[in-house]
Amino acid sequence: MPPLLLHLLLLHFFTYNSRLCFSSPQPKTLILPLKTQTLPKPSNKLSFHHNVTLTISLTVGLPPQNVTMVLDTGSELSWLHCKKTPILTNVFNPLASKSYIPVSCSTPTCRTRTRDLSIPVSCDPKKLCHATLSYADASSLEGNLASDTFFLGSSGQPGTVFGCMDSGFSSNSEEDAKTTGLLGMNRGSLSFITQMGYPKFSYCISGRDASGVLLFGQASFPWLGPLNYTPLVQMSNPLPYFDRVAYTVQLEGIRVGGKVLSLPKSVFVPDHTGAGQTMVDSGTQFTFLLGSVYTALRNEFVLQTKPGLKLLDDPNFVFQGAMDLCFQVPMDRLNRPVLPALPAVTLMFRGAEMSVMGERLLYRVAGMVRGSNQVYCFTFGNSDLLGIEAFVIGHYHQQNVWMEFDLEKSRVGVAQVRCDLASQRLGLGP
């Protein structure tokens, strides 16, 4: 699924192994440092675009050109901005790359490997494979499929297919100035992870401005301990609202403190159209729940936090277009929030759980104050307000969780980990 909001995780590449053999069916493990970065101010393109994105820095082409790409487990086709405009300074120039090859309409790549893209490809007047990508924020991009050499560290993968997009760019110049494109990491045949040939990848996200880890390949470390796995939901027949190449897991319930929300399990199961799947998406900042589930969670959280949290009580304010539960929070002398003990919100999956606790339950709304208090909003939103027929688990709630995406065994593994310490143990932290 396309990114619902551009979020940011700045990933600077580091080669753990001196040589990476891309042609091998079992490439060597590659460990990279990962850092969260916040944009200077929130994006205002649409109400549900946030001010944090996940990006990865690498080089493309011969000679290599530096690019910065949004890391997105919810998208398949990777793409780069390939046209210079007044608002775009961070672009890829295909004319300067000796290894750049456009994809023609007659190739198997254009005819068969594009089957999972949401909009069918077409053939342009030059008989090149033309792709249109449409995202949930109503934006779209157009351009041609091409292949080039993508480098991780000093080792390159020639013939990597991507979209060279030359029209339909975002109107947010500040965001575009930081990124050259998007790196698709879902399970589709054209995704970057599939083309790389790795059977699995992992990441561990620290808090903002702290070091984390991105890892391609097997993660076997004594300090990591066992992961709890939840199987990916497979759907054999195509359904209009079900993304078959997303990392879809089965949400079975939600617990607030020690209380499980009183909801039938059927509300978490996709219906006959495929609507209602639960996706793990690094391209989304926060977590969004379908309306009935969100309302139940909202009501229980308000009940358990009375009277310690003071409601904002402003019916006209909805943060990012989908988060309508906000509070007035006093600050201490060091400008830190003074919060009562908050009940953990635990997402209960088949075979695994993910708990959100403490300050990760609330997000400060920059520049918004009420008297001497800052405004903080609940970090779960209502999918219905965005027009999204799905549950989406965003990267803000994946902080300090080791996330493993196992394509070979069709499962997602999770383990609670201090990601800054994990980074240090792997020799990447300060």
Relative to beta strand 140-152, strand 155-167 is antiparallel
**244 and 185 within one domain:** no
Domain limits for position 280: 228-425
Provide the pLDDT for residue 29.
Answer: 82
**328 and 192 within one domain:** no
Establish if 152 belongs to a structural domain: yes
Residue 10 to residue 354: CA distance in whole angstroms:
24
Residue 350 to residue 201: CA distance in whole angstroms:
21
Establish if 3 belongs to a structural domain: no
Strand partners, 278: 249, 391
Provide the pLDDT for residue 122.
Answer: 94
* End position of a domain, from candidates 168, 188, 216: 216
Establish if 430 belongs to a structural domain: no
* End position of a domain, from candidates 175, 194, 216: 216
Residue 19 to residue 389: CA distance in whole angstroms:
43
Establish if 221 belongs to a structural domain: no
**184 and 253 within one domain:** no
**204 and 251 within one domain:** no
Which of 391, 417, 140 is CA-nearest to residue 267? 391
Establish if 249 belongs to a structural domain: yes
**317 and 294 within one domain:** yes
Note whether 381 and 344 are within 8 A (CB): no
Q: Which two tokens stand for residue 332?
A: 């201490």
**210 and 275 within one domain:** no
For residue 341, give the H/E element and its range.
Answer: none
Provide the pLDDT for residue 167.
Answer: 81
**393 and 286 within one domain:** yes
Give CA separation, 288 vs 59, 184, 185, 281, 375, in Å: 34, 21, 20, 11, 20
**196 and 236 within one domain:** no
Backbone angles phi, psi at 405, to 5 degrees: -110, 105
Provide the pLDDT for residue 41.
Answer: 41
Catalytic residues: 72, 281
Backbone angles phi, psi at 424, to 5 degrees: -65, -45
Which of 162, 47, 56, 51 is CA-nearest to residue 101? 162
**280 and 174 within one domain:** no
Establish if 223 belongs to a structural domain: no
Strand partners, 34: 212
Residue 216 to residue 190: CA distance in whole angstroms:
17
**111 and 54 within one domain:** yes
Establish if 396 belongs to a structural domain: yes
* End position of a domain, from candidates 187, 216, 245: 216
Residue 235 to residue 243: CA distance in whole angstroms:
9
Q: Give the CATH number for residue 255.
A: 2.40.70.10
Give CA separation, 11 vs 56, 210, 336, 365, in Å: 4, 11, 27, 25
Q: What is the pLDDT along the chain (430 residues), one digit of tens a residue?
A: 444 333 333 333 223 232 233 334 456 787 765 555 554 443 322 223 344 666 778 899 999 999 988 888 999 999 999 977 666 678 999 999 999 999 999 999 998 898 888 889 999 999 999 999 887 666 788 999 999 999 986 778 999 999 999 887 554 445 555 678 888 999 999 999 999 999 999 988 887 666 678 888 888 888 998 999 999 999 888 899 999 999 999 999 999 999 999 999 999 999 999 999 999 999 888 999 999 999 999 999 999 999 899 999 898 899 988 999 999 999 999 889 999 999 999 999 999 999 999 999 999 998 899 989 999 999 999 999 988 899 999 999 999 999 999 999 999 999 999 988 888 888 876 6
**244 and 184 within one domain:** no
Q: Is 82 helix (H, G, I), strand (E, B) or coil?
A: coil
- For 310, counting Cβ atoms within 10 Å of its Cβ (0-12 exposed, 13-18 middle, 19+ buried), the class is middle
**164 and 43 within one domain:** yes
Q: How many domains does the chain have?
A: 2
User: The tokens 């196992």 sit on which residue?
Assistant: 406
Residue 24 to residue 318: CA distance in whole angstroms:
50
Establish if 417 belongs to a structural domain: yes
